[in-house]
Amino acid sequence: MTAERGIPRQAVILVGGEGTRLRPVTSRVPKPVAPVVERPFVAYILDNLARHGVERAIFSTGFLADAIEAVIGDGSGYGLEVSYAVEAEPLGTAGAIANCDGLLDDGPFYVFNGDVLSDVDLSALAATHAAKGGMGTIFLTPVEDPRRYGLVELREDGAVASFLEKPGEWEGTALINAGVYVLEPEVLEMIPRGRLFSIERGVFPKLAAAGSLYGYVDHGYWRDIGTPDSYLQAHFDILERQVDTSVGDVLGEQYLYVAPTAEVTPGARIVPPCYVADGARVGAGARIGPLAVLGAGAVVGEGATVVEAVIQAGVIIGAHAQVEGSILVQGSSVGAGTQLSGAVLGEGCVVGAGNRLAGGICVYPDTELPDNSIQFYEQLRGREGI
Ligand code: GTP
């Protein structure tokens, strides 16, 4: 096996899953293009790939494929060429990679799970891959509770000794499969065509047994955005510049961006870290932030409070409403005086005045709650009451 390997110029991005755990954020918008600080999520992945010399990305799509293509198009807005391999039925993580076969050239390629936010040094991953000379190299990251991930143990030479997918029981920190790989094209030959096949269960254990799978450990920023809590936290991390992104560059040393077209009434307070997008309007006496994103054209009424929250485009928040630890998907609205703590409102939800929703409640799209219809006080997030 040769140690002389080329740097990958191509990538497969897996974006065909239904994103069920992130509903109702993903009820109508596929997870890969769900807005994260006003950008389609996968734009952050494309930025990182382009930064490390990748020229072509192939999106492996299935669920809501057209919606992804409508947002990302040919990739010209993101500095690389994007094409699409669409599945009629979900093929699993390996089947989905094999489905891109005709669009890949015969060099090594990166694979990215389409829900991973990371500024991992891809060039260092590729250099490790080239130096070790295996068929695949996995980016590994340490996590405290690894039970919903694939656990990886390494030998001293960096080869993967064992691969354990989603163990029921585990105590303590462990290295997990971070959902980013470099693979040699020969790996495609191990994948049966046209049927469900998992890379984590069907390919990696075999490569590991053959001594041809290596790990690259990176202690930098990593998070998957697959649940409402982690989606919210990803926003906070970008606002706090814990991960290197173009949005962080815009926020700068003040950790603050207020678009020139936003209207902030004198007397309203914008508390960093905070991002206020184009055409957003903030009423007198309102407070936005810390850790808040106000989407394009969103309206916050006078005296309202928005703290540690994601308010997507076009959302309307009534006067003196209080929103904390919550996600309001585009087109939803909240009436005067309503309090939200740890709530997720789906697209088009209308929550009338005088309600109180808390404790991780998810309200599905287009639900209408009349004025004064719900008083839910439980605080699962452990924050002080609002
Ligand atoms: P949940 O339904 O909430 O588990 O989310 P998910 O559908 O995204 O599944 P998961 O988080 O396990 O998937 C990891 C990545 O692989 C995501 O970016 C998915 O879009 C992608 N993915 C999972 N299964 C498939 C598949 O069958 N085909 C394709 N093309 N991508 C997939």
| CATH code for the domain of 303 | 2.160.10.10
Q: Give the distance (Å) from ligand 1 centre to CA of residue 32.
A: 10
Nearest CA to ligand 1 atom 19: 17
Residue 198: pLDDT band by 50, 70, 90 thresholds?
Answer: very high
Q: Give the distance (Å) from ligand 1 centre to CA of residue 114.
A: 8
Nearest CA to ligand 1 atom 31: 16
Q: Is residue 186 part of a domain?
A: yes
81 and 189 share one domain:
yes
| Position in ligand 1 atom list of the atom nearest CA 22 | 3
Query: Which has the closest alpha carbon to 10: 120, 104, 94, 114?
Result: 104
276 and 216 share one domain:
no
Q: Is residue 385 part of a domain?
A: no
385 contacts: CB under 8 Å, gap ≥ 6: 341, 377, 379
Structure tokens at 45: 């992945």
64-79 per-position pLDDT tens digit: 999 999 999 999 999 9
pTM of the model: 0.94
Q: Give the mean model confidence (pLDDT) for residues 375-385.
A: 56
Structure tokens at 359: 């404790």
Other beta carbons within 10 angstroms of residue 303's beta carbon come to 19
Other beta carbons within 10 angstroms of residue 317's beta carbon come to 31
pLDDT, position 194 = 83
304-323 per-position pLDDT tens digit: 999 999 999 999 999 999 99
DSSP code of 27? S
Total domains in the chain come to: 2
Domain that holds residue 175: 10-230
Mean pLDDT of the chain: 93
Here the CATH number for the domain that contains residue 169 is 3.90.550.10
- The answer to whether the peptide bond before residue 273 is cis (omega within 30 degrees of 0) is yes
312 and 203 share one domain:
no
208 and 287 share one domain:
no
Nearest CA to ligand 1 atom 7: 17
Residue with tokens 């790996």: 187
